[in-house]
Every structure is written in structure tokens, then in C-alpha cells.
Structure 1
Amino acid sequence: MDIGKIYSGFKFIEEKNIEELNSVGMIFKHEKSGARLFFLKNDDNNKVFAISFRTPPENSKGIPHILEHSVLCGSRKFPVKEPFVELVKGSLNTFLNAFTFPDKTMYPVASVNDKDFTNLMDVYLDAVFYPNIYKYPEIMMQEGWHYELDNKDDDITYKGVVYNEMKGAFSSPESILFRKISESLYPGTQYSVESGGDPDVIPQLTNDEFLAFHSKYYHPANSYIYLYGNMDIEEKLKFLDEKYLSEFNTISVDSSLREAVPFKSQKEIKMSYPISSSEKEQDKTFLSLNFAVGKATDAELYLAFDVLEYLLLETPSSPLKKALIDAGIGKDVFGSFEAGMLQPMFSIIVKNSNESEKEKFKNIVIETLKKLVNDGIDKKLIEASINIKEFKLREADYQGYPKGLIYGMKAMDSWLYDARPWIHLKYDENLKKVKTALKDNYFEKLIDKYILNNKHSSLIMLKPEKGLEEKKEETLKEHLKKFKDSLKEEELSKIILDAEHLKERQKSEDKKEDLEKIPLLSISDIDKDAKKLRLIENEKDNVKTLFHPVFTNGIVYLNLYFDSSAVKKEYIPYISLLGTVLGKISTENYDYEELSKEINIYTGGINFIPQSYSENKNTDVFYPKFIVRSKVLTGNIEKLVGLISEVINHTKFDEYKRIKEIIQETKSRIEMAMFQMGHVVVANHAMSYFSSISKYDDLLSGLGFYKFICSIEKNFENNKEDISNNLKNTASLIFNVNNLITGVTCDNKDYNKFKNNIGIIYDQLDKDKLENEVYEFKFNPENEGLMTSGKVQYVAKAYNFMKLGYSYNGSLQVLKSIANYDYLWNEVRVQGGAYGSFAAFLRNGNMFFTSYRDPNLDKTIEVYDKAGEFFKNFKADNRQMTKYIIGTISDLDYPLTPSSEGQRVFDNYIRHISYEDMQKEREEVLNTKVKDIEKFSELISDVMKQNNLCVLGNEQKIKENKSIFNNVFNLFE
């Protein structure tokens, strides 16, 4: 293609070779509409398309976020209520979602199938440019907010998917803090308001404002179109021009982003967050120092500060983190460098502190950083931090996300701000500049300029307050009561009528002819055979070795699978604690700071992960493993195995102060995850009422482990010798050569380097014969309500269908697709107002329904209980069944990285899942009929009748429904 030439209305403007990604970047401009386009050309078959818009919010009503949801609720060419869901049901997509950022809204899709990829582009483009929001005000009511009122005697309430999603987001103190950080640093700009929407403000949004925002910003002239992968670009440009962009003339869209005026002095802010009535207020305060750092378009600074944040705050040898922990100011310290905004922000955060520590916190930060500037930062720490970041850049393994999508997001971090889209993708030159820190005072200068001498900063104190949530709820009830009392009869009738119209739309079925407008692949487009992943079984020094040969770009992925079933039942939580402390405390030859540096200099990381594996199609048998998971460039394999051997054989478990710090941090991180992963917490805990593997997992990483961590933290000083001895004993029962299977993923040519060095580990392991435990657990439906100050619920019901006489079949995965994107989506999300609801049917017979950021509790349980009836009456024509089958295959065929491919092979080996099993499951999916789905209705009904229930949610809501629980308690102390 020639620069300056027009291709289907697109002028080819510039080209850049991006060696780091083995890609060529190409910039185009659509002459008629003004649309910008960036194509990242390479040989990756997992193609990515995204269209983004610069959408600076003026307030916290959540318009960008509600629009992100709403434009995917039907459009000109695809007038069904939920084209997004129809695509999820019936596409081979490898990614399908949308994102609201503080200054942009992004609509990405990905697929390895070119026909499917074009279909996805078509639906998304029609959605953003021609949404049905102008026809149906009910869309904004459903996705944003509306008054809920069934009859004139009821109380008025607010309802809406985004409203409840953001109530859930604002339940987490960390979310409140980060919102406040942005607001404090950038007053008067788009970053001082909440683009996702503040639940207190969302109900101020009118439909006219909502439509005006779309009309203003969703024009091609304000768009950023991104294409990535192996494709015929001329064909894609022709499609974009003919189907969409040629219909628009370029206009001037004022979406400019405002910069905050630099501060003359640091701001101080004090505010509160809610805790439940029985929680302690002590040790619950957050302290945060925050700094505005340059511009996102400064690519060198962008990369350097990412390394600096890691160096200062994320490793066991990080000097700022260590200074704050040593001072006893708080129990957890972490940092944040948020670069995806015009003016990036850097934060130093202490969690589980107290108000009295504010000045001490500030002083220690300043003193520690001044000392680093004056005395210099340890060069080995600098080398370690740069190396680990460079390893991640070059590996490009983003678990769960196509790498092309991550590159697209990085491109937006400069492109949105009127710089070239590749400046963060071409990182080699900037990496070289950052590496000068190994010889000079590069990072010391950054600290001096951007932190110590930066007045554009804020100090935030976020305090816990009992009763705050109850006060807010009371104020809201009072406000809504006054509002209702002020309404005239006809106004009241209109609210009831509007709510009725919304319910009618939600319950109405799409016309068959409209559904058929959604593009759909045929079964013939699907590979009938499951993908074969190679596995070669070898033996070295009497240890079984599983080798997955695949191109890894010079990286060796090494997994050591130790059987952990010699550990007695009462010490199961110590297996998880062992995984947490290893690599973070000293060994015989390294103190923990030096150990951390060595690992980061010579490897891509060493992680210690306890995990259980259920036997294929077996309810009760499972295999507890302790995995040492690592990665390294081939040339450093000898160093890697030496470091692993040092950690697993020579860790010193009597380093009490350090162990206590790790326990405190672990407790803090679990609490942070509870609000983000509440649906997983309750589902897993509900399964622990009846399932051996789930009970084991609960003690290993669930609520049982959290209770254990709380207990040993509280009583650490009295029990520290016991804790130390238990860790040491647990390690001795795990790290034994007789317990071990080794899994290695690398190129064929690199296998011998692994083989010649692995003996370093084997030689030092214990050789004694161990006696394995048979874990027996007592079960009963505990039906617990876990109370928090949160504003929403996470509701789960579960049981094991094999215990009821049913067997596993691949068609259950099709049932899961229908449950997720038909029944639960419509009942719990669309009509119930929750952010999400999910089903799972596992090979060991365990199944669950769970909800996410759910305003309801008893209503959601009622939906679960009626699921059997829905599937008993399930009806679908051939086209609909094809759609569900394709969507299910999409999940089965998700493209894997070399590392995750290896893990899949090893997991299947441990669980005794053969290729024949995978092929049988695939054939069962492909041959699923309506009658198969109808038959599962009894399975679901029988599971729900077992009434295994767990809910995490609002204290008041759980107390109101106390009768359905056997036990209710406050989750946090």
C-alpha cells in the first residue's frame, strides 16, 4: 500500500515498523467522515477490532457508562433487544465486551474466524452509530435507572443495571479511595467526576441529556478505529466505508480534554466510608499520598514510572514499602500508577491504619525518598525491577485477554491525546533510556522532580464510619417518600405506567425475523475435532516429566506439581500460607530482599500455588497439589532451578516479624478481593457444604482460609512459634521427590537445557516415603448470610447433581450457555437489575447459580428455584440451537498462550481427562437437541430443592431475610 493513496475512502497517512511486536503499524484517515484508523498488521490469527470514542463526562450521572450498556440494546439493522447477548450466544468470539474509562468509551471484539470477525464488526458498528435508544426510552430506564413502583400504595425505589453495578463498586473502600484520588488531583476536569456514575447522582440523569451525549460524541469524526492481526486490510477498509462511514460527513466535535491547573500546595482531604455496625473502627483507615505525573504522551516517563512504582512499592525488597511497614503505620502498603489518562497519577497507599498516623505516614514517605535520592537506589533492585517489567512486555501473555486488545488499549493511551498510536508499543528505545538507571541516578531524578518537588499532589485520609450506610439509606428513603408525596395523581400513574411498559418490553419476545438479522455461522464453520495438544511423558531421576513441546520464543515454563495430601486435615490452611510466604522470607543463603532481587533479575517470576484437581467425572476423588510455577529465558534455566531449590529446601520459617507482615498483607488483600469477587466467594462456599474438593478449597483459599488468617493474625505474638513450626512441618510433607510430577513447556530445542539442570532440584529434595491422608469432611447445608456494609448482594445456590443420580454430559455446557445468556440474564439482570448472574456445571457434578452486584436477595433465589420449570418448557428452533452450540464451542476453543496450553495439558493429565474425553464432550455439544435441554430440567429442579444457599451482602438486607439462613454473621471484624 502506498502512503498518500486513498483506499476505499481511507487515506493512508503513515507507517511504522514495530519490531517489538513483530508488527507494522499503519495510520489511516477516512476523508468523508473524519474517522481515524490504526491497523496493527502481523500474523496473529486472533484478530481484534475496536471502535472507541473520546467521551469526557461533565458530571457523575454516569452517561458514558449507561450509554456503553445501552447502545448494545438494539440498533437499526439489528433491532432485537439484546444483540450483544445474541452474539455471545452464537459467535466464535474470543473477546466481546465494552469498557467505560474516565475519558473514553471502547467497544472491542476479537475472533479467529474471519467471517465471524466481520459479523462482530457489523453488529458493533451499527450499535454505536444507530442505536435504538432514540426509539425506546425504556433502554435507558433498564440500563441506567428508573423509578420502580408497582402500585400507588408501594414505596418508590430506584432500579437499573448501572445504578446497581455502581452501588456495588462504591461498596468497596478501595473504589471510594481511587475515585477520591482522581477527584482531588484534577478538579474542574473530566477526571474529577465519575464516568461510571455515582449512585447518589445517577437518578438525576434525564433521557434528553442521555441522548444529547450520544448525538454529540458518537460520530465517526470523534472515533478511533483499531484493527489488529492477520487480515485483508483493503477488504476491511472497503467494508467500513461502504457499510457505515460513507453515510457520514465530517463535523467538528468538541471532545477536548481539560488539564488540571498545577497546584501551588498539596491538598488535604478527609472523608469517611461505611462499615457494618459490629465492625471495629480501629486499624481501618486508608492513608494515601498522590501525585500528578507528567503526560501520558511522554512515552519514556510512562514506562519509567511503571518501573518506579514496582521498584518502590510492589516487591519484598521495595524500600518505600519496607519503611512504611517497619514503622508500623498500617498492615498493608501498595502503590498505583494509573497511566491511562491525560495526566497520569501515582499513589502511595497504606491500608489498615489509623487517623493518628497521618503525619508520620507523610514524614516517612518524604524521609525515605529523600534518602534514596541522596544515597542512591540499590542498582540490583533497579535491575530486578526493569527485568521483570521487560520480561512481561516481551512475553505478552495477558491471561484472559487477547494480546491484540491489550496493544489496542496501550495505543489509546497516546492516540486519544493526539499523539501517534504506537509510541507505547515501540518501547525498546525508551527501555534503553530507562536502563541508564543501572549506571546513573535516573530514578533518583524522577523521584526528586515528580514526587519530592511536586506540589500537584494530595493527601487523603479515608476513615471508617459505623452507621454511614444506614444514614444514607434513611436519607434516600426520606427523599423518595417526599418525592412520592409531592406527586399529583396523574404523575404517580405515569411512573407506574412507565415501569409497566419497561416490564412488558423486558418480557416480550423478539420477532423471529429480527433475530434472524443477527449474523450467524453454521455448524459447518466449526471444526468437528477437539484440538490435540502434544504431551510427551518422560522420566528423569525417577521423577515423571510431562513435556509440552511448543514455540515459546525462548522462554521455558516450568511447573513442579507436588502432591500435598500428606498434610493432615487440620493443617490444610497452612498449605496456602506456605504458598504465600515462600519467596518472600529469607533462606539460608539470601535475606528476603536479596532473594526477591535475584528472582526478578534472572527469571520471569516464581510463584507458589496450592491447587486441587477433581478426578474426571468423579464426585469424591480429588488430587491436592502444591505447584511451583515459574518461567525463565532459556539461558537462565540453571539460575532458575538453583533459586527454586534454595526456596523450597532452605527457607527460614523463624523470621517472625516478616511472617507477621505477610499475614497482615494477605488478610488485607483477601478483603479487597471479597467485593470484587463476591459471586465466586459465595458460589465456592455454598459448594463446601456438600463437596469434598470444595471443602478443601474453602480451607485453602476461601472463607475458611480467611477465618484462619484472621485468627492467626489476631493471636500471632502468642502463637508465632507454633505458626513457624507448622509452616516448616507442612513444607517437609510437601517438598519430597516421591510427591513430584514435573511439567515443562518449551521448544524442542530447549528441552535438553531443562533436562540437564533439573537435577539440581531433585537432588536436594527429601526421599523419605510419606503416608498420604484420606480427607473426610462432615457436611451440612450451613446456609450462611455473610453481612457487610455493602449496598448489593451476591447470591448463590449449589449442589452436586451426581449425588442425585445424574451424570456429566457435554450438553450441560450448552445448558450453561442458555442459563447464562437467556434465563439468568433476563430474570436476574434485565428484570432484576443485577449486574450479572452465572451458572456452572462441572465435570465432578458440582453446579451452582450465582449473582453479581445484585439489588435483590429473596427474588433472586426465587428465580433460581423456578429455573427447572423454565427448562422443562424450553423451546428453540434449529437456528437458535445452532447459536447456543456455536457460543458453547467458542468457550471450548478459546485460544491459549503457550504457557496456558501447557497448563491445560498438565491439568488434564492429573485429572485423567483424555483426548477421547475432550472429543466426546465436543460431539455431545455439537449434537445437543432441544429435548436434551428439556431433560435437564429435573436435574436443575432437584439441585435447587437441596437448598444449599450462601449470600454475601448488605447487613440490613440479610437481617430482613434472616429466616432463610441457618447462620448470619458479619464477614469483617
Structure 2
Amino acid sequence: AHILEHSVLCGSRKYPVKEPFVELMKGSLNTFLNAMTYPDKTCYPVASTNLKDFYNLVDVYLDAVFYPNLTEYTFLQEGWHYEVDPQTKEFSYKGVVFNEMKGAYSDPEDMHDDLCRRSLYPDTSYGLDSGGDPLEIPTLSYQEFLDFHKKYYHPSNSFIFFYGDDDPERRLALMEEWLAPFGLASIDSLPQAQMRFDEPRYIEYMYQAGEQDQPKAYAAVNWALRGHGNVLHAMQASILFHILTGTSASPLRKALIESGLGEDLAGFGYSEELLQTAFSVGLKGVEPTNVREVEKLIFSTLEALAREGIEKDAIEASLNTIEFALREKNTGRYPRGLAVMLEALNEWLYNQDPIEALAFAGPLEKTKKAYADNPRLFSELIDELLVGNTHRTTVVLLPSPDANKAREEAEKAMLDKARMAFSDAELAQIMRATDELRRLQDTPDSPEALATIPVLSLEDIPKEAPVLPSELLLLTETPQEGGTVAQGKQSAMDARRSETASSAFYHELATGGIVYLDLGFSFAKLESRLLPYVSLLGRLLLEMGTDKESYVQLIQRIGINTGGIRSTSVSASRWDSREPSPWFFLRAKALPEKAESLADILIDILTGARFDNPERLRQIVLEEKAQAEAMLVPAATRMVSLRLRSRFNPADWASERLYGIEHLFFLRSLAQKIESDWPSVLADIEDVRRAILVRDNLIVNVTTDRATLNSCIPALRRIVKALSPERAHVTSGTRSARNSWIHEAISACDPASVSKPAAETLELPAQVNSVGMILPLWNSKAPAGAWLVVTKFLDTTYLWEQVRVIGGAYGGYSNLDLASGLLLLLSYRDPNIERTLDVYRNVAAFLKTCSVPPEEIQKSIIGTIGDIDAYQLPDAKGFNALMNTLTGYTQEARQQIRDSILAASPDDFRHLGALIEEALGTSMTGVLGAPDRIEQALHALPAPLERLSMY
């Protein structure tokens, strides 16, 4: 199923090009274009805010799904094939999905979650890995692959979903054309239900851990729950599991974290995506000898909650949090329609009513009433669903320095067996097939084939850069006459200004009656040694309690009265200088009638947060450390990217210390320092508080409708007034801007004064690599927007073909930051190191010599506009408008970049190629991967080289 997900998008009846998916990526305004494989379904969603573009995408995807070409060479490329070394005749496996899943098997957290889920359904296909075990993928034959498509990819087995304001009659007429040629088929496509266990099961597996690691295990208890069809039961279950583990104050989560048995939660949580719903919870970072203690603690906690009841405020907080989330439907960057589709499928796929699955108000009100009538409702559900449920497993993932070795030896044995079975003639045929695959990969699509892909024209593209509504907001004691509290339109926002105390901005947008409030605090004048604390500050403010209440009471109060408060720290590059624009934000949302309650909470947090509980701080630091370590493999490319950028750009120098590898090292050190030198840790945190959380540093940002804004002004004024107006009693290190981290960052990133390594390796247990190269394009003081068109073309041609299609990596792409003038070349889940670096070194030659037809430039222009006109919900629009101001990214600059994009020409390709060629002399390479793979590639890495162990 996973290989088919990739392969159907590699050419079809109407669109006989090698990669229609990539052609759409080049020249579409899409807001979503991808496909996803689940244990019992594959989804092919597309989305666009441009109606013509949307129906282009729909047409290509329908033809791909129902009429794919599915050549044997597509199967070899996307699934698996043998590669034979011409000299040694040594065999190896290659293939995009094969290497993607090797990456998945390098991530112990993802592996543990998958094993927990599969453990509950061992006698069904849910007990197998729907992504594909790399040791099983090479057993799939081409004929089995074709048979699978023939059986399951039939309209009778499809669920077709539209969302948007387009004409529904047009939708139906379109689908009639597509479905009419097919007859009705009876397809038994769902897995059978798993027979319930008579008694619980305990299962152990191994994962690869470095020999230098402290041996830490993952342990989770997992329950199979109910089937589908009762939306009231589903609503009650979702609320119950939020009560138990949804926040740091949740009783089961609190008991696990405070036990000291582990560092952070493990398990996949509540899942409604399969035929039988499930719940999973446990701990990671557990001493192997304590895994049974985790199981005991979970049950003793659940039994006590079932017997003694759950605190009323915990229930009220979860009820309000769930209701707010359901009504707001904030899906972030993810198009809302896709989230709705997946929710509908949670019932629809299992022959239940999809509309009933979406209609949450009725079940929510019934749940509230049931709880009012029976305060023990959720305690009784604990007993029914968990304590008394024998269909459960305990899955433990134990560390081993030899787990990868065992898999590699098994893979080698498979290859040796295959090699021995082949005659010389068969071996020659395999080599010819590999050569033919390479020839096909290197052969460009014909102009006639490319012309079949529907594309927009430049006339379909808005020429004006989108304007985000923004106004200066006056938070004085007395509003202007007539009640005006906001003034000054976009030009006022974009003017370069000195950031003064209590600056405030307003963005008038329809938010469904919700107030989105961002409180930003500059940390530009903080000492370098204190910088890593900033990304912890939000959790310390929100999860350690105040002078008035414990952290549990505070979290419950937030849940009862708001839609949530979260924090983020941003170090962004200014567009008019090389200096960073660093801000710590508390981002809150609430209904207008709760504005005063929200203000009270924020005031208590900002003026009365208590940091003097070493054990609670230690718990937070261990959770953050465990999460940072868990992200090393799945976010490997982001880690390599940030690490490289931090060597060249002051803003990224700070981000690396806030979120990157340096921050992980800081957290490891801080966890020990809390125990060995608590007074100095507390003093540091208090210094951070005094240096940042003052009125001088504050900026207020509000996004809502006008009437709601006016009703909230008194609450906003109270917040500003409550803050200390100046930096009083600040220790000597934080008083002067001369000691600011910014000066150290600028010095560290100055190419004239600092020698950098030419390459750095980050070494950890992994079966595949992430390879990066950064190129500073500083010789052009004003990077052109047209260069984004060039990198779009680069991503969808040369890098896609060389790194993914031929190289077998899951991904290869570039990232150009116009503000800093830095170009990154990156790969993801990559079996190669040397070959990928050779590809990067040849980028300049490719751009200088490639002949790009006008229609290909036009596609890349359209795709680039689609990237910069990203899908945004109102809260994101308001926040991004603020960041534009704080970084000096004016409307004029945005329009200049857009104009340059729309005017891109072949000269821009040659110009950027020449700049990249020049920048190779000051480039830097970064690799994250296993030590043995890196050792083999040392000859390909430039000197001087730094090697860093992540164990």
C-alpha cells in the first residue's frame, strides 16, 4: 500500500510524464498536495484557494489513482530493486520507500508507538507495519503490487470528499464523468476485528542505542477499546483521555512524571483511526529494571481515580478545552477541509454516518448533561474502558547496542541468499535492468508529455502582494474621542521604528468571536549564558505555579477560562540589517466574555510565577531533554539546517541555542546542575525573568473583530499596567546592552574574523543520513526574489531527480533565506553521503548550463507564488503581520520580491549558478548519521572537520 501511494503519482493514462506530482509542485498554487498511507486506508488529498488550480489538481489525482501506468521501473524506483557493484558484484537494496522506512526504523519513539498499536491486533493486518518493514519490502513482487492495485483501487472502494465554496453541482457532474465507466464491485477491504484478549500480554523488543548511552527503555500500556457507531461514546472517551493525560496537571500524566521512573510520556495516546479505537500511555527514559514499575503505577493511579473520583476542576478544564478546540477548529497550516475529511473517515470508513461524526454539539451537550447528572461519569468510564479491560498489552522497547547490527546482518543474509540463487545470466539481466532504470530516470519528459499537465497562466496570479490588516493600537488610559482605539493603517505598521514600551498592534479579522492575544518580550539585551533559558521560560511561567496557586491549579484555571496559553521564542533576521530580532511570546486565546479572566491569569503568571521548586523544574527539564532527543532522527534535516545556519547568521546562532543541538547539550547539563548547584540555577532563572518580563520590552498584538477589540481594551490596559516599568534590581550581567548575546553572535558569524570548520558530523544510531551544505551568497547585498523561482526549479528537477529518484533518499531540496542571503541544500533519510555531496557541488554547473524553456520558468514562478502566499488562519495572519513589522519586512519589500518573482528569466538561473560557484569556497557541510557510515565517507568531507557525538 505504501509503495502504491508513491507509485500512482508517477505517470498515468492522461498524464504520461514520469512525475505528475512533481510537475504540479512546480506550477500550482496548492495549499496541500500529498498522499498518506494509514494501516487501513490511503488518502490522496489536494487543496487550493484558486478554483481553477483546484480542479486541475483534482483531474490529475483522479487519473493517477484510477488509471496509473505502474510500470515495472516505477515499482523498482519507488519500492525496491537490487543494485550490483560492477567491480565487486556486491548486492544492495535501493528504493525510495525502502530508505524512507529505514529512517522510520531508526526512530525509537515512532517504532515504539507503532509496536504498541500493532500489539493490540496481532491476528489482523493491523498487526503488521503498514509503512513496510525494510526486511519485508524486498519480498514484494511486481505482480503482487499490480494485483493489489487492481483489487483495491476501484471507485467502489473509494470515499470521495469535497470541501469548500465551489458549486456542488459542478462537483457531481465531474465525478459522474469519472465514475460512469466503472461498474459496481464488491470489495472486502477492511481488516477483521481482533478477537478480544482473555488476559493481558507483555511484549519486549529492542532498539538501537549507542554504546555510550545511558540505557533507557520505553514502556507503555495499551488498550483496545470500542468500535465505531456511537458518537456519544466517542465524545466521552476523548474527554476522558484529555482529563487523564492532556496537560501537565492531568492526574495520570502527573503521577507518571512525578514518579521519577522516566523522563517523559510514551505511547500514542487516544486513537480513533482504526476499526477498534485504542488508548496508549507510559514513559520513556526508563531504567530497564523499572519497566514493570511503570505498569504498576499506571494501574494504581487509574484504580484510585476510579474508586475515589476525579477532581471537579480537572473535569471542567478538559470539558472547556475540548469544546473550545471543537468550535475554533484551528488546524494551523493544515487546510481545515483535510482535518474535517479525516474526522469524517473515523466513522465513514467503518460504514457509519460521516456527517454524524462531524456534528459534535449534540454529543458534547449530552456529555455535559450526563456528567451533571452523574459526577462519577468519568470515574466509571476509567473502570469500564481501562481497569477492567483485559484486551491490553504492555510493550517495552529496550536499548541494545546491537539492534541495528542484527537487522543489517539479516539484510545481508537476504542479499547473499539472493546473490547465490542467481545465475550469471540472471545477474547480467539485473544489471541491465538497473542500467535501464537509470537511463529512464535520466531521460527528460518530452515537451508533448509535459504539455498534458494542466497549469495556470501568469494572468491567473495576483500581481499585488497580499496585505495583512494592521493598525497601531493605543493602550492609553483614555481612548480617543469617539472611542477609537486603533489608528494608522498598513503604512504605519511597516514604518521603521524604535521599539518603545507598550507598543501595540491590532489586526481586524473575522475570528469567529475569539480574541487572539500575543504578548511579546524582547530578549535582545540578555547575556549569552542565559540565552538557552529563554525557550524554557514559557513552561516555567505556565507550569510551575504562582504565588497564589499550585501549577495544577494554574493549568486547570487556564483550561476552564481560556482556549489555551502557549509560548514560543523567535530569533528572526531583520530585513534591513544583519541583526536579529529576538522575541519571547505568550500566545493566548479566549472568548470575549473571558477577557478579564484571561488578563487576571496573565498578570498572575507575569508578576507572580514561582520558580523555587527544584523538583518540578527538574521534571520539566527532563521532559524537554527527552523530547529534544526524540526529535534527533525525525527532525534530522531541520537539526542539520539550523546547525549550519548558526555558523553564518546571528539570528540562527541564537535559534541553535534555543532549539537546536546546543540547546540539547544545555538541557543535559542543566538536569545535572539542578541537583548539584540549585542556588545558581535559580539565580539564573530569576535573572532571565528580571531582564525580559518588564514593560520596557513589551509588545502587545491583538487579532479579532472590531467590536470584540473594544470590549477587551480595559483588560489589555490592566496587563500593561501590571508590569514593572523598568529593569529594577538587575544583576550586573544583564544591565548593559554591551553584554548582550547579539554582540557575541555577530562576532561568531563574522566571516572575516572567525574560522569555521569546513564540515561537521553529528553522530547517532541511525540507518540513514541527513546531508546538508550551506552557501553564503553575501556577494549580492540584495538577494532577488527571482532566485526563489530558481530554487523552486532546482528542487523539482535536479535535486528531486538526483537525490531522491536516483539516489534513493526520501527527500532532497534547497532552502533560500532572502533575509540572510543563505542557501541550504539538504537531504532526508538518505542512504548516501558522498554521492549527495557530489550532487550539491554540481548545482552551480547545472544552473549555469541548463536550458530552461519559458513554460518551465512560468511553472516555477506560479509554484513560488503559491509558496509565499501560504494558507493562513486568522491567528497566523495577525502574528505574521506583527513579525513583518518586527523584522522590517515592509509591504514595499514584499511587493518588490513579488515583482522580481514574476519577472524571473533565464539570466537569474545563470546568475545564481555563478554566485553558488563562488560561494563553494566558503561553504560548510553538515552530516547527521551513524558513526560507521560517516567513517566510510570521511574522504569525501572537506577539512577541517569537527565530529560531534549525539550519544
Q: TM tier, shorter chain?
A: over 0.9
CA distance in 1, matches of 2:190, 2:614: 54
Letter in 1 for 2:336: K
The letter of the residue matching 2:201 is: K
Query: In the alignment, what sits opposite 2:863?
Result: 887
Query: What is aligned with 2:179?
Result: 245
2:347 to 392, 395, 414: 414
What one-letter code is carried by the residue in structure 2 that aligns with 1:261? Answer: M
Instruction: Say whether 1:362 aligns with 2:295.
Output: yes
Deviation at 1:947, TM superposition (A): 3.1
Q: In structure 2, what is the equivalent of residue 559 of structure 1? A: 518
The 2-side partners of 1:533 and 1:362 are apart by 51
Aligned to 2:195: 261
SS at match of 1:755: helix
Is 1:294 paired with 2:269?
A: no
- Are 1:810 and 2:785 counterparts? yes
Deviates more, 1:576-585 or 1:395-404: 576-585
- Deviations for 1:718-765, whole angstroms, at most 9, x for unmatched residues? 122211111111011001111111111010111122221112222221
1:863 is aligned, of 801, 817, 839, to 839
Q: CA deviation at 1:968?
A: 5.6
Correspondence list, 1:506-525, <5 A: 506-525=441-460
Report how far residue 623 of structure 1 moved.
1.3
C-alpha displacement of 1:806: 4.8
Aligned to 2:316: 383
Asked whether the 8 Å contact 1:617–1:808 carries over to 2, the reply is no
The residue that corresponds to 2:488 in the other structure is none
Match in the other structure for 2:678: 720
Q: Tell me what 1:498 maps to.
A: 433
Query: Does residue 662 of structure 1 match 2:620?
Result: yes
Partner of 1:20: none
Kept in 2: contact 1:797–1:944 (CA 8 A): no
Paired residue type of 1:776: E
Equivalences for residues 69-88 of structure 1 within 5 A: 69-88=6-25
Alignment partners' CA distance in 2, 1:523 and 1:666: 47
Query: Aligned partner of 2:304: which letter?
Result: K
Cα distance, 1:686 vs structure 2: 0.9
Q: Which moved more, 1:169-178 or 1:590-599?
A: 169-178
Residue 324 of structure 1 is matched in structure 2 by 256
Matches of 1:504 and 1:608, distance apart in 2:
51
**Code of the aligned partner of 2:893:** D
The answer as to whether partners of 2:639 and 2:661 remain within 8 angstroms in 1 is: yes
- Give 2:60's aligned residue: 123
Kept in 2, the 8 Å contact 1:277–1:467? The answer is no
**CA deviation map 1:562-592 (0-9, x unaligned):** 1112210111101122233220101101100
Which one-letter code corresponds to 1:613 in the other structure?
A: A
2:80 is the counterpart of 1:145: yes
Contact 2:504–2:700, Cα closer than 8 Å, also in 1: yes
Of stretches 144-153 and 773-782 in structure 1, the one that deviates more from structure 2 is 773-782
Cα pair distance change 1:102/1:970, threshold 3 Å: farther
Q: CA offsets, 1:225-262, max 9 Å, x none?
A: 101111111122112222x2111111211213200000
Distance 2:252 2:538 in 1: 24
> Residues of 2 paired with 1:745 and 1:800: CA distance?
37
Report matched runs for 1:922-933 at 5 Å: 922-933=898-909
1:823-880 CA deviation, whole Å, 9 max, x = no partner? 1111101111111122111122122111111111111111111100110012222211
Contact 2:223 2:392 in 1 (8 A): yes
Q: CA deviation at 1:317?
A: 1.2
Q: Distance in 2 between matches of 1:743 and 1:847?
A: 32
Residue 895 of structure 1, CA deviation = 2.7
In the TM superposition, residue 86 of structure 1 has moved relative to its aligned partner by 0.2
Q: Does 1:175 align with 2:110?
A: yes
Relative to structure 1, the CA distance from residue 391 to residue 85 in structure 2 (aligned partners, 3 Å threshold; closer, same or farther) is same
CA distance in 1, matches of 2:123, 2:795: 41
CA distance 1:889–1:628, change in 2 (3 Å)? same
* Cα distance change, pair 280–231 in 1 and its aligned pair in 2 (3 A): same
* 1:809-958 superposed matches below 5 A: 809-842=784-817, 843-958=819-934
Q: What percent identity do the matched residue pairs reach?
A: 35
Q: What secondary structure, in the 3-state scheme, does the structure 2 residue paired with 1:956 have?
A: helix
**TM-score after normalising by structure 1:** 0.91
Q: Which amino acid aligns with 2:316?
A: E
Secondary structure of 1:540's counterpart equals: coil
Change (3 A) 1:174 1:603: same
Quote the residue 1:271 is aligned against.
Answer: 205
8 Å CA contact retained: 2:321, 2:559: yes
Aligned residues: 903
1:272 maps to a residue whose letter is M
- Cα distance in structure 1, aligned partners of 2:663 and 2:539: 12
| Candidates 388, 405, 413, aligned match of 2:338 | 405
Q: What residue identity is the alignment partner of 2:185? A: I
Superposed counterparts of 1:13-24, under 5 Å:
none
Q: 1:3 is matched with which residue?
A: none
Distance (whole Å) between structure 2 residues aligned to residue 726 and residue 629 of structure 1: 24
Equivalent position amino acid for 2:744 in 1: E
Aligned partners of 2:135, 2:628: CA distance in 1, in Å? Answer: 28
Residue aligning to 1:704 = 662
Q: Name the Cα RMSD after superposition.
A: 1.5
Instruction: Give 1:462 shift.
Output: 0.9
Report what 2:532 is aligned to. 573
What secondary structure, in the 3-state scheme, does the structure 2 residue paired with 1:575 have?
Answer: helix
* Matching of residues 72-221 of structure 1 within 5 Å: 72-133=9-70, 136-151=71-86, 153-221=88-156
Give the whole-Å Cα distance in 2 for the aligned partners of 1:201 and 1:663: 39
**1:228 alignment partner, SS class:** coil
By how many angstroms is 1:970 displaced?
5.9
Moved more, 634-643 or 772-781: 772-781
- Out of 536-545 and 136-145, give the one that drifted further: 536-545
Which of 732, 736, 744 is matched with 1:776 structurally? 744
Is 2:570 the counterpart of 1:611?
Answer: yes
After superposing the two structures, state which structure 1 stretch, 75-84 or 142-151, moved more: 142-151
Q: Is the 8 A contact 1:874 1:930 kept in 2?
A: no
Residue 590 and residue 967 in structure 1: after superposition, are their counterparts in 2 closer, same or farther (change >3 A)?
farther
2:695 pairs with 733, 737, 742, which one? 737
Q: Is the 8 A contact 1:569 1:775 kept in 2?
A: no
Once the two structures are TM-superposed, the CA of residue 690 in structure 1 deviates from its matched residue by 2.0
Distance 1:704 1:812 in 2: 31
Contact 1:612 1:697 in 2 (8 A): yes
Q: After TM superposition, give the deviation of residue 186 of structure 1 in Å.
A: 0.4
Which deviates more from structure 2 when the two are superposed, residues 223-232 or residues 781-790?
A: 781-790
Q: CA deviation at 1:331?
A: 1.5
Give 1:798 shift.
Answer: 0.9
Give unpaired runs (5+ residues) of structure 2.
477-500, 728-734, 749-753
Which is richer in strand? 1
For the 8 Å contact 2:625–2:668, the answer to whether it is kept is yes
The answer (yes or no) to whether the contact 1:397–1:403 under 8 Å persists in 2 is yes
Please tell me whether the aligned partners of residues 150 and 496 of structure 1 are also in contact (alpha carbons under 8 angstroms). Answer: no
Q: Check if 1:392 corresponds to 2:325.
A: yes
What is the identity, as a one-letter code, of the residue corresponding to 2:58? M
Q: 1:197 to 1:968 in 2, by over 3 A?
A: farther
Instruction: Decide which moves more: 307-316 or 109-118.
Output: 307-316
In structure 1, the partner of 2:544 is: 585
- Unaligned residue ranges in structure 1 (runs of 5+): 1-63
Between 963-972 and 474-483, the greater mean CA deviation after superposition: 963-972
Q: How far did 1:390 drift? A: 1.5
- 1:357 shift after superposition: 1.6
On the 8 A contact 2:776/2:922 being kept in 1, the answer is no
Is residue 276–residue 955 contact of structure 1 (8 Å, CA) maintained in 2?
Answer: no
Structure 1 window deviating more from structure 2 (291-300 vs 119-128): it is 291-300
